[in-house]
Structure 1
Amino acid sequence: MRRIYHRFPQSIDLDFELNRPFLEVLACIARMHDTHTTTRGADGLVKERMLIQIADGRTQFLDLNDLAPLTENVAEAADFRIDLQRTLLTPEKKLPVKENVFFLRIVDKGAVTECYIAKEGRLGDLDAMDLRTMLKGACE
């Protein structure tokens, strides 16, 4: 089943191909969902978390956990909303630092998967190339 969001941005920031079959890329994306890393920055510990949603009913997004297993519920093409959150961890509290939101469309092209990335808004310090690097790293 195709899972396409009808308001996917018309202007794409980056398009590229992953040398992996569609179902393998879906599995990579599912593994990336709700993961986090903690790094030491200039201000202290920074937690980076990735939340992924998939298009549902052409008008909204659904958490990936609500559509398991992903490889049995998606075919041909899928749109994702990827939220990359950064939080500064202090002894007193957690302070949100940055939030980067991207739309990702993947399309089955046989032995390769075509990917389209569009950033939502201008906020945040990451761009489409950063998301491409994360995807390639997770899938290879």
Structure 2
Amino acid sequence: MRRIYHRFPQSIDLDFELARPFRDVLACIARMHDTHTTVRGADGLVKERVLIQITDGRTQFLNLDALQPLSEKVSEMADFRVDLQRTLLTPEKRLPVSESVFFLRIVDKGPVTECYVAKENRLGDLDAMDLRRLLKGACE
């Protein structure tokens, strides 16, 4: 079933292809959900977390965990909401650094998958190229 968000932005920030079948890309996205990495930044350790939601009923998003297994419930096209959060880890507390939210549409094109990315707002320090790099890394 196609899972399309009726308010997906008409103006996109980035359009690219992944040389993977649609079902493989769905599996990559499912593996990325609710994961985090820790990197050393200029101010100390920074935790980077990825949260992913999928559209439901054309008007809202639901947690990706609620729709498992994903490959059996999604076909042809799907819209996602990807939340990339960065938190500074200090000995005393955790300080939110930034939050970047993207809309991601993937479309089945046979042996390749077409991806469209649009940033929800201009807040956050990441852009569509960062999401592309993250998605390509997860699929390789």
* TM-score (structure 2 length as normaliser): 0.98
Following TM superposition, where does structure 1 have runs of at least 4 consecutive aligned residues deviating by more than 2 angstroms?
none
Compute the displacement of 1:78 (Å): 0.2
| Paired position in structure 2 for 1:7 | 7
What is the aligned partner in structure 2 of residue 43 from structure 1? 43
The structural deviation recorded for 1:130 is: 1.0
Cα drift, residue 90 of structure 1: 1.2
Tell me the C-alpha RMSD between the 2 structures.
0.7
The reply on whether 1:112 has 2:123 as its aligned counterpart is: no
Displacement, 1:42?
A: 1.6
Q: 1:32, CA displacement in angstroms? A: 0.4
Specify the code of the residue in structure 2 equivalent to 1:62: L
2:52 pairs with 1:52:
yes
SS of 2:91's equivalent in the other structure is coil
Partner residue, 2:22? 22
Residue type of the alignment partner of 1:16 = F
Q: What is the deviation of 1:92?
A: 1.5
Offset at 1:5? 0.3
Q: Are positions 1:129 and 2:124 aligned together?
A: no
CA distance in 1, matches of 2:129, 2:85: 17
Seq. identity, %? 84
The range that moved more, 37-46 or 18-27, is 37-46
- Secondary structure of the 1:28 match is helix
Corresponding residue of 1:82: 82
- Residue 93 (str. 1) matches residue 93 (str. 2): yes
Q: Give 1:41 shift.
A: 1.3
Q: 2 CA distance for matches of 1:121 and 1:50?
A: 17
Q: Please report how far the alpha carbon of residue 125 of structure 1 lies from its aligned counterpart in structure 2 after TM superposition.
A: 1.1
CA distance in 1, matches of 2:40, 2:20: 33
Q: Letter of the aligned partner of 2:38 in structure 1?
A: T
Normalising to structure 1: TM-score of the pair?
Answer: 0.98
SS at match of 1:7: coil
Q: Tell me, yes or no, if structure 1 residue 62 matches structure 2 residue 72.
A: no
After TM superposition, give the deviation of residue 45 of structure 1 in Å.
1.1
3-state SS of paired residue (2:122): coil
Amino acid at match of 2:92: E
